[in-house]
Amino acid sequence: MDSIKYTLSENQMPRFWYNIQADLPEPVPSVLHPGTLEPITVADLEPLFPTQLISQEVSQERWIEIPDEVQSIYRQWRPTPLYRARRLEKALDTPAKIYYKYEGVSPAGSHKPNTAIPQAYYNKLAGVKRLTTETGAGQWGSSLSLAGAFFGLEIVVFMVKVSYHQKPYRRAFMEAYGARVVASPSNETEAGRSILKKYPDSTGSLGIAIGEAVEVAIADDQTKYALGSVLNHVLLHQTVIGQETLAQLELTGDYPDIIIGCTGGGSNFAGIAFPFLGAKLRGEQNNVKFVAVEPAACPTLTKGKYAYDFGDTAHLTPLVKMHTLGSSFVPQGFHAGGLRYHGMAPLLSHIVELGMIECRAETQLGCFAAGLTFARAEGILPAPEANHAVKAAIDEALRCKEEGVSQTILFNLCGHGHFDMQAYMDYQAGLLRDTEYSAEELEMALSGLPVSR
């Protein structure tokens, strides 16, 4: 029994990004200035972002038009395919229907170009010459490097040191697009030097890398900062995923009972889930369960605290209210590098607090096993990050088998694992170990939260 692909034509691409803030029953808590603890202003954000992106960050409008220049680049790979995973269903012997939206067809191999392209476009429009950023697994760094090549922008990527060494081909991929890649923590910034002074063997973290990228950006008026997840405008750009999926599911006659996405900063989960959640909030659909899946070694949603915290380890960013493990958190070097961030998108954290999303944490061995099960049935090898969504989808399908019920499961396969072969080699050689973030480490990291409000 073959799996089935559902495609859309280019003229069916979304013309607008969807902003879920227009449909929420309660507004997201304000972002605070770290010095005054008062809500930040547009002027506070201008050293980091161009005006158009700041406007999107604070917008309450439901629909924001996608510029033609962005659409023209999206057309290289969008709309992306939706698959009915019939071979996986057969392998699991489940009565469930399993669908997955596949974002690995982009030039960078993941969902990340959905926001890298518009961010580079708006910065180019504002006359910016250089963008700095951070990357963990390298999916975001690759995507911004691609966007920089398209728009003629210099790109500097601070790559978490453990991933810098684990993934030399991902680093080479970024450099092929013309980016400069720096292992973080580095000696190029005060933030990096201060970490190395205390911890010379530091393997780095996304929080550290963010601090380095922000420091470089605010020191030069020709440079801005770009972020691949967490912020409202980033989640906004990813909603092309869910909007396309809604249209594709109309071709199937099905509607999901369960929607699943992996979560590190929140962007790919928001991309697949927010358009469906918006429909539910507006009373257009009901009874959909949303499941966010994170690593047990970085359990931001399942063990973190909902509190104001810095987005970076150097404490250069504004304070946002989010689920956090503490800005000093440095995770162990597990292979889902894109999910190793201490915080979660404030918008997604707020929705979790409203009780709209179920959160789960999975160990890396279980996720890699699920990824291989999926690959051997469907032929696509997922990125280690995406394996978390695959694991939850398989678990739900097996539950359906056990209960004798047929439900429709949708998940976002946010990227392929072609640059992650060392991780798969280590898994199959029995070299990987499961790690969890201990209660003692959590208590220590959370003891340094900046404010109690």
* Token pair belonging to 259: 């929607």
Q: How far apart are CA 152 and CA 175, in angstroms?
A: 14
The answer to whether the beta carbons of residues 170 and 220 sit under 8 Å apart is no
**408 forms bridges with which residues in the sheet?**
97
List the domains of the chain with CATH numbers: 78-109+238-444 (3.40.50.1100)
* Token pair belonging to 193: 């030097």
Q: Specify the DSSP element, H or E, that contains 161.
A: helix 161-166
Q: What is the pLDDT of residue 453?
A: 57
User: How much of the chain is in helix, strand and coil states, percent to nearest 5?
Assistant: 45, 20, 40
* Token pair belonging to 293: 């899946």
Look at phi and psi of residue 287 and say left if phi exceeds 0, alpha if psi is from -120 to 50, else beta: left
Q: What is the pLDDT of residue 451?
A: 67
Q: Round to the nearest angstrom and report the end-to-end CA distance of the chain.
A: 55
Q: What is the pLDDT of residue 328?
A: 77
The answer to whether the beta carbons of residues 137 and 131 sit under 8 Å apart is no
Q: What is the pLDDT of residue 36?
A: 87
The answer to whether the beta carbons of residues 157 and 134 sit under 8 Å apart is yes
> How do strand 97-102 and strand 82-84 relate by DSSP bridges?
antiparallel
Concatenated DSSP letters of 396-452: HHHHHHHHT---EEEEEE-BB-TT-HHHHHHHHTT--------HHHHHHHHTT-S--
The answer to whether the beta carbons of residues 337 and 389 sit under 8 Å apart is no
> How do strand 154-160 and strand 82-84 relate by DSSP bridges?
unpaired
DSSP 331: -
Q: How far apart are CA 261 and CA 389, in angstroms?
A: 5
Helices (H), 219-318: 232-237, 240-252, 267-281, 300-303
The answer to whether the beta carbons of residues 183 and 208 sit under 8 Å apart is no
The answer to whether the beta carbons of residues 8 and 246 sit under 8 Å apart is no
Q: What is the mean pLDDT of each run of 10 residues along the chain (453 residues)?
A: 89 97 95 88 92 96 98 97 98 98 97 98 97 91 97 97 88 96 95 93 88 93 94 97 97 96 94 97 90 92 92 82 86 57 92 96 95 98 95 98 98 94 91 78 76 61
Q: How far apart are CA 87 and CA 384, in angstroms?
A: 21
Go through the chain and tell me how many residues it has: 453
